[in-house]
Structure formats: structure tokens, C-alpha cells
Chain A
Amino acid sequence: MKRYSQKIKLGFIFVASMFLLNSCADEYLDNSKIYAIDTESFFNSETDYYNALVAAYDPLQSTFINVLLGEIASNNTLCGGESATDVPGYQQVDDMTHSPVNSQLQNLWSWMFGGVNRAAYIIEFQDKTDFVGKEVIIAEARFLRAYYNFELVKWFGDIPIKPEGRFVFGDEKSIPRSPKAEVYALIEEDLKYAVANLTYVAPQVGRATKGSAEALLGKVYLFQNKFQEASTVLKNVIDFGPYDLVTDYNSIFEDAGENGVESVFEVQYTDIQGAGFGCLQCSEGNVAVGFQGVRGYDGDLFTSGFSFNVPTQEVVDEFEAGDNRKDVAILDIDAWSASTGASFTTGYEHTGFFNRKYIPRKRSTEAAGDLNLTNPNNYRAIRFADVLLMAAEAFNRRSNPDDGLAKVYLNRVRARAFGVANDVTSSGSNLTSAIYHERRVELVGEGHQFFDLVRTDRGAQITGFTSGKNEVFPVPLEEIQFSQGNWSQNSNY
């Protein structure tokens, strides 16, 4: 019997020791650090910060939809395309019949918040690792967050914000849509930090500069009718920034004119990488350009596209006689075809005009397909001409106007446009109107007109525009549903 009990004991010890060996089991399960860097274990070196910054710039390329759809929304163009049902989301915005169910607005919402989150990711981890020059990266991240948030507030009005970092799952149910004023306050704060920590010359072409941040801040002030602040910061760009107007307006929009002296901030595109319709926001090219191209085009200089965003006769007529910008901004396809023998087909709402600044040029042999989606044309987001006109407006409209300086800035733009001095001499509200006119023709096809109209209470100029409703776009229905009652829809949608 003793032998047995000994053996039982032995067996027991054996089994028990197995369990003891396993007692550290729960720690054994912690292997999460092996070989994989996840989002929470990142930011361990300068390179990590830089790589995250590249990621934050990337969604700028998806702002093609803001430019394209913004222009379509305005009174400058018609939607076009192949037929009345070609991209219904665009067609509805053109007709001001858009509703909360609109996949293009859903894209815009998601893509811009994607940008916000990528920039906020850096901001969230800004204190993790120190290195010389970190403030430049943080400043650029804050500039980018401001850029994306500004787009969102322009399009949707009140939006949820989270100053400390990224949105996480559940925030859509708890973080409210902040009033526009609070959103603008965050944007201003971000931009002021960027202004303070950036220089006028970027470490690499394509990155934001002090001038980019100042110009955007000026624009943000202008959108809030803070003309005093706007005039100060914009004058600063004009006086101290390294910018000037390019003599030849046409050269700005060609490949050689990219990142020129007039470029205050420019969204960078390239065509060396392919793209597909499955992920338009993944394209390294400017998708809007292919969409705006002449349908079935075969001829000199240009290549074909999908004939969206076609300028109306009205905007063509807005140009004064002798304005050299007209033939740069507007392609009269019939005249062009007659003179060069180019052939083309007509799409929906064919007006005979195309947005010549941003239609596809002939491509290099290395260009990767789908060629319609990979056009390399950079988007000149903030041009110095825009800065001059914004400054003119700010000085003209501020409570203590300086119309003299406003006219200096305005006429600088006009002189370039006409090749000779063609000065506006009026002042007061006549000068304001002249500035509005100048903005429209100078910046036609660049996606600004709709928002200029709305911020100056001139939205009614757009066919189908309902005041008190169409100043902002509806929050996508899915988003309202995800928020489970946290967010309410914009008025009258």
C-alpha cells in the first residue's frame, strides 16, 4: 500500500508540475511586440514621424473630388459626363437636388476625415520621441489637419472635432458636431502653430510652408468675415513671402509651371503608378483631370476624358474683352477642332467648352494606366493671385477699409491678365463687386466659386439653389445612422 501511495504521489507531482509550468501561461500569450509594428507602437524615430507625415499628405490627392464637385456645384459649369445617369452623385449636386443619399458626398466626407485622422495620428503621438526639427513635422501635420477640417467645414458646416488625436470607434456616437465657430477656432489654432514653426522654404518641394499656412489662415479668416485678421496675415504673405505672379498665365497650368513662383500651396500628383476605379482615392494622379477631359478626343496637345464639369456660356461671357485668361481657362472645342483638325464626341450637357486648365495633356510613354485616372497635373490649391485677391477683399471689406491697397492688389492681378494695366478705379461696394468678378474669372475651374458665392451670400446665383439649405451639403445618411442619434442632419435636408 505504501508503494502505491508513493506512486500516486509521484503521479500527482508530475501532473501538478505540468500545471505549474503552465502557470506563467498568461504571460506567454503576450507576444504582441514580435516583428510587427502596429499603430500604437510606432513613432520611435524621426523616420517614423516623417513616414507618418507622408501618409498625412497622401489624402490631399483625394481632394480632386472637392475641386471637381465644388466646381460642378457652382454656376461656372454643368455636370456633363456621358449621360444624365453618369455618376448620379455629381449630377444631383449640379442640379442642387442632392440628398443625404449621395455616394460622392459620402466619399468626400470619408476621404477628408481620413486626412484628418492621419494628421491627428502624428499630433496624438507628438510627445513620444524627441529629435531636432520635430516641430516642423508637427507644424505640417497641424497644417494638414487644418486643411482637411477646413474642407469639411466648407462642405458640411458643423463637424465633429477631436483636438487631441484620432477618432476611434464609438466617437461617432459620443462626439457631437461642433459648431462651425469651434471648428474654425481649432483650424486657426493649428494654422497659427504652423505659421510659427514653418519657414517660407520647405525642406522638400510639395510640403507646406509658412506661406501656405498664412495664406490658408487668411482664407479661413475670410470665410468667417474676420477681415481685419485676414488683411494682416495676407499682407504678411505678400510682403514677406517669396511669391510673385507668373507673367504668362498659360504657363501656370502646364507641367513646366508646376510648383512655380506663384504657387503658395500645391497638391502634388504623378502618373508613374497605376490606378483603378476600385480605389480612386488611392490614385497618385489627379482623377479630376481625366473626368474633365474631352470625350472621345483625338488630336493635338490633349487626350480624351469623360467630359464632366463643362463650363457654361455664362462664365465664358464673364471674361472681359482682351482678357488673356479666357483662352487658357476655357477650351472652345469647336474652334479648336476647326483649327487643328482634332476630333471628339459629345457627352451629356455638351456646351462646347472645357475646363482647359485641368484637362488631360498628352502623356509620357511611362505613364501608368488607367490613363484616365493617373493624370499628373498638380492642383494649384492656393495661388499667389488668389492671395492677392483675398487680400484685396479683406482690405476692402474690413471695418476700416483700405481700398487703395485693395486696388493695388487687384490691379496687379488684372495687369497680368490683360498684359497691360487695366485698372479698376472704383471703391467701396463697387470695388467689392469688381473683386468678386476678378476672383471668378481668375480662379475659374479651380473649385472656389461655389464657396465664394456662399460665403458672400450670393448662393442664389446658382440655378436650383435654396437659401438656408444649400449653403452646406447634407451629412451622408449612413453617417447619421452610425451616430445613432448623436448627429442631426443639416437644416432642410
Chain B
Amino acid sequence: MRKKITLLLFMFISFCLTAQTLNVKGVVKDATTGDTLPGVSVVIKGTTIGSETDFDGVYNLSNVKKGSVLVFNYLGMNPKEVVVNSAEINVSLEESAESLDEIVVVGYGKQKRKDVTGSVSLVGEKTLEALKPIDATTALQGTTSGVAVNLSSGAPGAKANILIRGVSSNTNNQPLTIVDGYEGDLNSINPNDIESITVLKDAQAAIYGIKGANGVVLVTTKIGKKNKAPTVKYDTYAAIQQTTRKLDYLNATEYALVLNEAYSASGQSLPFTNVNSLGRGTDWQDELFNDAFLINHNISLSGGGENVRYFISASRTEQDGIIAKEKSNFIRNNIKMNLGVDISDKLNFSVIANYYTSASQSFTGSLLFNGLNYAPTFGVDEEDATNFLGIEVVNPLSLLKNTFGENNGNGLEGNFKLSYKPIDGLTVTSRLGYKIYNEKQRSFTPIQSYGNSKVYNQTQSSVYQFKATSTRVNWETFATYEKTFGEDHNTAFTLGTSVQNDLFDGIYTTGFDVPNNSYEFADISLTNSQSLQRSLNTGNGDVRLTSYFGRAQYDYKGKYLFSGLLRRDGASVFAADQRIDNFWSVTTGWKASEEDFLKDNETISFLKLRASYGTLGNLVGDNLYRSLLNGEAEYVFDGALVSGEAQGRLSNAIATWETAEKLDIGLDINFLDDKITVVADYFEETRKDLLIQDFPVSGLLGIASPGSSSPTVNAGTSKNTGAELAIGYTAYESDNASLNLSYNVTYVKNNVTEVLDDAIVRGGGFAIGNLPPSRMEVGQPIGYFYGLQTDGIFQTQAEVDAHPSQTGLGASTSPGDIRYKDVNGDGVVDFDDRTNIGKPQADFYMGFNISAKYKNWDFSTYLYSELGKEIVRNYERFLPNVNKPAYYLDRWTGAGTSNSVPRLTNDATNNKLFSDFFVEDGSFLRMQNVQVGYNFSSDVLEKVGLSKLRLYTTVNNVFTLTEYSGYDPTINGGAIGAGIDSGNYPSARQFILGLNVEF
């Protein structure tokens, strides 16, 4: 009380003395969490007078004129201005999603978003929290422009692939992933541990040199804040998963009728004489798909003292598959620790460690294929003992029973980092990154029989075991010096070096005659040690990289920005005279909104133009310059098979990495006080020295010998051209309500501009006995589909006779068969009439997000779309008696009945050749996620000692709009051979119920 009186008295006196000044003090808090914020800058507007909040978020400013304005600034928060009219001003700062002051990691450094001159996308914690990805990679799908994510499969634990600005390489399009400075992977991290994901899309990534061409994904994980009381967060959710789709296939009655028709068309006796008794038969898809459970627990502890910051977390995810959950599931555990210690004012030490284990069971891709093709007339336990369906189609449930495979792994990754600031502006950092991963696999093939001479039959049981350790060590040291010359010339220099070593050590064994034909005994030690087939093999890898890099940044008054960077890389995987190269880039930016003519513009609150150009590498082509003795050398001496050693793939002494040349021109423009943000980019990438496997060379070189093959040659160039646009709109924002919208779209066009000797690279596979459907060829996109073009169905014999002869395709043509176009106009239809009938990569990728808050409720939804891509339907086995898709119900049965689906017959036809009949539009729009949450009010929570309690429900994969008839149009859109759907595991729809607790 006395204190207060004294204070009042003091104030009064002060007031008397100066009349118009105040001594202002107050506390600054985070509006969302209510935490006090240390280090907030408080400046009197129009002056350089100011202060900073202390550890408790408290600031003091003396002699502040009444009526002047205080500006509160804190990184990652919206700045706030308050007019001084009392001595105590407490402020809450709002966190801002798209803040220009947001810190962006850009590779060996950080920048404020407004100063970034490269093309960068950012995904923050909020997006990750909303999307609940099991693999954080999937959180990039649709949330960032220029980034596409493809799932190789919907199976639990399946890896997702990131594509940044399209497919450039036919070898590897995976971006480099850097986690807190060490090279890692997104799928080994607990998504809850991630604070932000930054994607470097242009030549700015040249600081990563030989690994930067596919773009760089920079992951920053969470660490506690200094002087913050320990916070415990517990998040959990559980989900029911089910398939998003089942394919429309014939039921038993329809199937029998269709088969009878085909047999009678060929003049054969009918296979089903009593169709009426068949009913619907067995729906094999129903038998294979099941509802499956998913559960996730996550707990973390974070906080900090005066010299220490820490974050510790643990998590567990268990996911069952929506197909055969007892044989398809995934478990991952993570333990994460981030610790930062200020040893002194100048010396900081930090440790990051992420330990994880994963266990998964999976089955071969042919299960769904068999499920679709196995006849519905068979009972659940019934084998096709007479090979009615041919030797390649078997009862999928029996196949599943005989499938045993598990994969277990555990890894430890992270780094140790020491930062030293000897003088103002200079920081020297040395860090040692590591990643150790141990993996083991076991698969068991029991003796099994599905009927006479089925290809899946096994007369001998076997077990395959694989164990491997991958180790990566990376030591980087770099110095950064920042200095402002005069008042306006800001410079920063970075100089560094890096050494990396990747080791692989694996052992592979196969044993035969597993005791009791049982998985319980499936171990090499128990197999027949006398078996000649028993095999033991090892694999080794040792990849070394040494690098130097430097960067200079300069800006004038923060208005004109320039940077230049250079990296020299040496990689051991190339021949000695080929292994070193330099990569470089320059970037520039102009913040027009800092110019006088825009400075106080009320509409345009921010405007920056930027451009970048440079070269980057893609480290592919391991040891291509060497030829190993892994060919086949087998001959018979003394009546017994003997093995020797022979050359495998031919060497290519001048093999080298791929090089990208990237150009980006961008515009960042914000309107109406940053309520509307727009980021637009135009980009071009030329990828040179594409490595082409099995490049055709002369037979003189011995490439056709058993086990040998053509060398891999740098023999192609591709070019990606495109544009992307991201728009954010804060439609409404107040203390208890907000509405944010964001939209992004990316257009990419790929074109192969050069292949050595104009060779055509073929790949992929369609059905059996067809020519390879995918190609890489000058003037076409990588991996485009090359096949016949259809032109309806022949309705009459007269139409057949009037059309150029199709006999060159191998079979005679009748009414009801597919009419193919004579593309080259030579008067006959043959394989020379094949042409471009589609491509696996989309033209457009789009994402749309709405998030809203009203009082205690929050809502968000994410949509994702790909437009302009094709998918090859390749899950039909073309045999007379297998089950068929329901579209055959609309088949041609006589003149005028159908102009799209050919007749049914068992005669030889050309209808099963690879044509656009099997190529479908794969465009789609998917609602990825919709979520509703409820936050309990803080006054309620305080009573139970909690600071946050939120309940939410989410649906993932809500719906997909597409004309594609297969399971999942999100199928992999990579390079040659991509976009061919052989019955891929569809992604699951998930109904999630979750809880966030914080105290």
C-alpha cells in the first residue's frame, strides 16, 4: 500500500515537473498463449528511443510524451501500435501466419521473410496440427505452391514422394531434406515435433550445390523458449479408416452372362449353363477391404531457463491397413530431444536427437490385382483348381494367407552444434550431424498351391532375411559476418565447409525348407543348411562428399537486395577426373513498397520484386564409372553348374551428376494492411546431363552377355516451365473470431529438349506382351504414354472394310472391334501409328484452405486438386475367364449398341493393345481434410490446472471428385513408367477424434 502511495506521489510529482511526459511500464504477452514475451522491442514512433522487455515480459520507458505512439515489435507477431495516455500499458501481441517479419531458414542462415529474394514456401505448425499427417510429407500436399506430393501407395507406412516444380529427372526427383541442419527424412520425424517446413524452390538452393537441384526442404523442429515455465502438451487421436473406393466389377450373374456371350461369339460351348443359380457370388473386394484403426499419442515438455532451452517429446502411432489389416500395418515410435545451452554470452551449444522405431507388415501389390480378376463365381475358400482363370490369377484370400513379411527399423539422428560469437556480427558455427538407421526385413514364402501349375505355387518353402545399417556423418563449419556500413549498406557474408560420409552395410540371405512350413520357424538358422540354393550376400556403400561454400548478401536501405553464392562440391561416386564441380547463383530483390511513391500507399502495403538464377546439381549416378563383377557367369563343367565372375553393367568413365539451371522471377505483393497476400512466380528449369539407364550402345561392347547391360549415360535434357500463385486472405480478424482463406496454384509444363543420338528411352509396362507404354523422347514430356489412338468401335463390316487395314497389329478385325486411327496416314494401321496419348504429370496443382475461428470453436478444411494428367488402367488381366470391370455391361453387341466399349469374344482381337481405351483422365479434386475443434475457456481450465484443452474431430480424405475409374487418382506421377495403375492400394478415409491438452 505504501508502495502504491509512493508511486502515485512520484507520478504526481513527475507530472507536475514535466507536465506532458509519463514513465510508462507494462507487460507484453502472447495473445494466444497468454505467455509473457521477453525481448519485445518497444519504440516510440518516429524516434530511436526505445527499450526491450525483460525475461518477465516487462518493459520500462521513462519520459514518454503523452499522446505519442509506442510500437511493439516481436518476430513472428503482428506489430502493435498504442497511443500513450496512461503509465501502464499492457499489450497482447497476435501471432501472425504470414508475417513479413517471420523468420525463414534459407540454408546456412535465416532471413526475415520480407528480405528473402528466392522463391520459398512455408508450412507452419498450424497446418501440421490441422492435417494430422502420419508422414509430415503429406502436409505439403496442396498447402504450398510449387510442391506436389505423390503417394506410392495408400498402405500404412508407405513412403510419400515430394516433387518440387514438376518432374525434371528420370532418375531421382526427391528434394534434399535438411532437418535442423542435418540431412534427414520427413518420414522419420514425428510431425508433432515440427515447427515449420520451408521449401526452397529456386536457385537460392544453390548453397546446397550438388544436392540442391530437386529443391530443398528445410525442417525446423521445436525447441523451448528461454525463461519459460515448463509446458506439457499431450495430444492424442484415434481414427477409424476405410477405403475411399471400391471398383465397380461384375457380380457372378453378370460375369457368367458376359462370359457366355464371349464364348458363343467364338463358336465355343458355353461355360455357364445355369446362370440363374449364381446370384451375386463373392465380392472379392468386400472380402479384402476392412475398417481399420489408427491411434496416435504424443506428449511433449518444453521450456527454458536463463541459459537453457529444451524440448522433449515422445510419440507413438499405430495404423492398420484398410486391406488385410492383420498383414498390413505400421507402428512408429519417436523420442525427441532438443536442448540449447548458452555456455557464455558468446558460446552456445545445442544437441538435437531423434530416436525412432518403425515396424510394418505389408503384402505384395498383386493382392488387389487378384481380387479384381478372380471370378465372383468362386466361393471364399475355393481355389481355381482347373486353371479356369489361367495360371496367373489365384484366390486372393489364399494368397493373403500365404503372405508373410515384416520390416523393422530403428534409427537415431540429430546433431551437435557449437556457435561462437567472438565479436559483434560474427558467428562461427560448427555442427556434427548424424543419422544411423538399422533395418531388418524378413519374408517367408511357404509351400503353397492354388491349382495345377499356377505361377504362385511354391513347392519349396523359403525365408528371406535382410539386415542393414546405414550411417551418415556430416560435419559442417561456417562463419557468418554481418555488418552495416554507413547507415544504409547492410552486408552479410557466409563462408563454410562441409564433409559428409554415407555408409551402407547390408547382409541378405535366403534359406530353403523352413521347418513345418511355418512362419514361426522362418529363420535362416533353421533352414536346410545343405541346400545348394541357400544364398548369402552383402551390400556395401561408401559415398563421400566434400564441399566449400560462400555467400555474400548486400542490401541498400533494405530496399535493394542482392546475394550471390558459390559452392564447390566433390563427390566420391564419380571418376577422379569427373568428381568436382562448382555451383553458383545470384538473387536480387527490390522492395518497391519502401520507395517514397508507395510508402504510404493505403492499398498496397507491401511490394517486392525478385529474381534468381543459378546452377544446382542432382547427385545421381553412383559408381557408374566402375563396372562391377555382378554379371552372370555360369557354365557346366564335369556335368555340374559352376559359377564364375563376369562384368555386370558397363561402366561409363565420364558419368556425372545432373545439372539444373534455374530461373525464377517473382512478385510478392500485399494489400490492405497485409490482409491480402499474393506471391506469384514464373520459373524455368533446364535439367542437363539426365542419366539414362541402359542407353543403347553397340553390341560390340558385350552388353548382351548374361547379366550385363548397357551403361548409364548422361544423355538428355529436359525443361520445365511454369508459374505459381499463392493468395492469402484474412477476411476477418477480431479477438474472438477470424476467417482466413488461402489458395495456391502451380502450372508446370515439362518437355524433353534433347536426347543423345535422338534415342527414344522406353519404359513402364502394360498388361502382358505389349510394347513398353512409356517414353522419353525429344519434344515430349518425360514418361508420356505412347500407344494407339482409338476412334470408336466398328459398327458394321462395311465400316471395317472402308477403314485402313488393321491386320498389321496382329489380328483380324470384325464389327465390334476398336477402330484405331491411321495417325501417320500411310493407309494401314500398324504399330507405327502409335502416338502421344497422355502423360502422367499434371498440368495444374491446386490447393485451397479455409480456416475459421469463432469464440471457442475452430474450423478448417483443405482441398487439393490436380488437373490435366492421365492414368493408365492396368489392373485388368486379359484372359477370357477372369472377372471384368462393369463397363463391359455397356459393350458392343450389334450395330449401334456402343461406340466406346468393344465386343466380347474369345477370338484374337487387337482390342487389348495399349491404346487410349486404357488411358483415363486422372484429374481430381479431393477434400483432404475437414476439422472442427472446441477450445475450453481458460477460466474453466484454470480451475483444473490446465492452460489448454481442445477437443476436435477430423475427417481426412472426405471426398474425391474424379472421372478416373480406378482406386485412387493421386497415384504416383514420376518419370518414365509412372502413372500406370496396376491396382494400387488406395488411400484411406479417416474419421478422427482427438484431444489436445496443455498445462
Interface residues of A (CB under 8 A from B): 4, 7-8, 10-11, 14-15, 18-19, 22, 25-26, 28-32, 34-40, 42, 48, 50-55, 57-62, 85, 106-107, 109-111, 113-118, 121, 160, 166-169, 171-172, 204-207, 268-270, 272-273, 279, 281-282, 284, 476, 478-479, 481-483
Contacts and interface: CB of A to CB of B under 8 A. Distances in A.
Nearest to B626: A38
Closest 10 CB pairs of A and B: A54-B644, A110-B699, A55-B633, A114-B705, A117-B702, A110-B704, A55-B646, A25-B546, A268-B636, A51-B644
B477 A15 contact: yes
A204 B644 contact: no
B706 interface: yes
B287 interface: no
Given A15-B477, A18-B497, A39-B651, A273 B641 contact: yes
B637 A479 contact: no
Contacts of A114: 699, 702-705, 708
A26 B705 contact: no
Contacts of B815: none
B497 A205 contact: no
B633 A19 contact: no
A476 B700 CA distance: 11
A36 B651 CA distance: 14
A54 B634 contact: yes
A55 to B, nearest CB: 3
B652 interface: yes
B628 A36 contact: yes
6 contacts: A11-B423, A15-B428, A22-B546, A38-B627, A48-B645, A116-B702
A106 B700 CA distance: 11
Nearest to B579: A29
B705 A107 contact: no
B707 interface: yes
Contacts of A111: 699, 704-705
A399 to B, nearest CB: 38
B481 to A, nearest CB: 9
B708 to A, nearest CB: 7
Given A15-B479, A28-B546, A273-B634, A281 B704 contact: yes
Contact of A57 (B546, B576, B635, B702): B635
B631 interface: yes
Interface of B: 420, 422-423, 426, 428, 430, 477, 479, 495, 497, 499, 540, 542, 544, 546, 548, 570-572, 576, 579-580, 623, 626-629, 631-647, 650-653, 696-708, 711, 757, 810
Contacts of A205: 637-639
Nearest to A272: B641
Contacts of A270: 636, 639-641
B705 A61 contact: no
A57 B702 CA distance: 14
B700 A171 contact: yes
Given A52-B646, A106-B699, A36 B540 contact: yes
B627, B639, B640, B705 — which one has the most chain A CB atoms within 10 A of its CB? B705
B633 A168 contact: no
Given A35-B542, A38-B629, A206-B637, A25 B499 contact: yes
A19 to B, nearest CB: 6
B705 A58 contact: yes
Given A39-B647, A281-B704, A476-B699, 5 more contacts: A4-B423, A28-B572, A55-B647, A205-B639, A479-B698
A48 B711 CA distance: 24
A272 B533 CA distance: 11
A422 to B, nearest CB: 36
A268 to B, nearest CB: 4
A459 B639 CA distance: 38
A29 B544 contact: yes
A19 B477 CA distance: 9
A28 B711 contact: no
Given A109-B699, A167-B700, A268-B637, A22 B426 contact: no
A269 B636 contact: yes
Contact of A55 (B423, B645, B650, B652): B645
Contact of B426 (A8, A39, A54, A172): A8
Contacts of A62: 706
Given A22-B546, A171-B700, A479-B698, A118 B576 contact: no
Nearest to A50: B644
Nearest to B479: A15
B646 A58 contact: yes
B548 A167 contact: no
B635 A42 contact: no
Contacts of A281: 704-706
Contacts of A172: 697-698, 700-701
A61 B571 contact: no
A118 B627 CA distance: 13
Nearest to A26: B570
A118 B646 CA distance: 8
Nearest to A478: B696
A228 to B, nearest CB: 34
A264 to B, nearest CB: 17
A42 B699 contact: no
Contacts of A28: 499, 544, 546, 572
A486 to B, nearest CB: 10
Contact of B428 (A11, A31, A37): A11
A110 B571 CA distance: 34
Nearest to A7: B422
Contacts of A481: 757
Contacts of B698: 167, 172, 478-479, 482-483
B645 A42 contact: yes
Nearest to A481: B757
A169 B195 CA distance: 52
A19 B548 CA distance: 8
B428 A22 contact: no
Contacts of B634: 54, 58, 273, 284
